[in-house]
């Protein structure tokens, strides 16, 4: 994937911290969101970009499908 400058970006798994304040939470409630629609106020640690690393079988399956589509589309 390329970034705004047209440079190739590196796919890395990095830890992030998401902070939801009480003000953020109340603003969501004013918009009509329910407490099921959003995270409760607090700090949440997560990893960015690690989905395919944790589920490599999905990446292989996608490659198989792409090959099949290519093979069937030439008929």
Domain count, the chain: 1
Range of the domain at 65: 14-73
Give a yes or no: residue 65 inside a domain: yes
pTM: 0.48
What confidence tens digit (pLDDT) does each residue in 1-46 have? 455 666 655 555 688 899 999 999 999 999 999 989 999 999 999 8
**pLDDT value at position 1?**
44
Give a yes or no: residue 35 inside a domain: yes
Give a yes or no: residue 8 inside a domain: no
Give a yes or no: residue 67 inside a domain: yes
Give a yes or no: residue 2 inside a domain: no
pLDDT-based confidence at residue 54 (cuts at 50, 70, 90)? confident
Give a yes or no: residue 4 inside a domain: no
Q: Is 27 helix (H, G, I), strand (E, B) or coil?
A: helix
Give a yes or no: residue 9 inside a domain: no
| pLDDT average, residue stretch 45-65 | 73
């Amino acid at each position: 994937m390329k970034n705004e400058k047209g440079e190739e970006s590196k796919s890395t798994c990095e830890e992030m911290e998401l902070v939801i304040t009480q003000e953020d939470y109340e603003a969501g409630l004013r918009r009509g969101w329910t407490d099921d629609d959003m995270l409760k106020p607090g700090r949440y640690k997560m990893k960015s970009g690690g989905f395919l690393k944790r589920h490599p079988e999905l990446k292989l399956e996608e490659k198989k499908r792409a090959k099949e589509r290519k093979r069937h589309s030439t008929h």
